[in-house]
Amino acid sequence: MLVIPVKDYYNVKTIKNALKPHLNKTVKIKYNLGRNKVETYKAKIIKLYNCVFLIELIDSKTVKSFSYADIITKTIKIYE
């Protein structure tokens, strides 16, 4: 799982810094849609912006975006 420093709070800066070493590397992403619906992607993190980051799916070359808040709220989980 993605290593994020343990703190009493998380902010965008700490999440972004934790994602920087994984830039342009293949990761596994679990996206929780609610009501026992989970999507799993094998993707590459391609770009980090101020509020969002972009991933490119390995199989279909589709680009998706997620916010850093999705990681904080545990909507998505990133694994190496």
In a domain, 5, yes or no: no
Q: What is the pLDDT along the chain (80 residues), one digit of tens a residue?
A: 776 655 657 788 889 988 999 999 999 999 999 999 999 999 999 999 999 999 999 999 899 999 998 988 889 999 88
Give the pLDDT confidence score for residue 14 in this predicted structure: 87
In a domain, 3, yes or no: no
In a domain, 1, yes or no: no
In a domain, 4, yes or no: no
Check which CATH number belongs to the domain holding 59 and give it: 2.30.30.100
In a domain, 25, yes or no: yes
- For 12-39, b/e burial (b = at least 16 CB within 10 A) is eebbbebbeebeeeebebeeeeeeeeee
Q: Please state, in angstroms and rounded to a whole number, the distance separating the CA atoms of residues 57 and 4.
A: 23
In a domain, 6, yes or no: no
- Are 44 and 23 in contact by the 8 Å Cβ rule? The answer is no
The domain containing residue 66 runs over which residues? 12-79
Q: Please state, in angstroms and rounded to a whole number, the distance separating the CA atoms of residues 5 and 10.
A: 9
In terms of Cα–Cα distance, which of 25, 20, 33, 36 is closest to 68? 20
Digit-coded pLDDT (tens) for 58-74: 999 899 999 998 988 88
Please state the domain count of the chain.
1
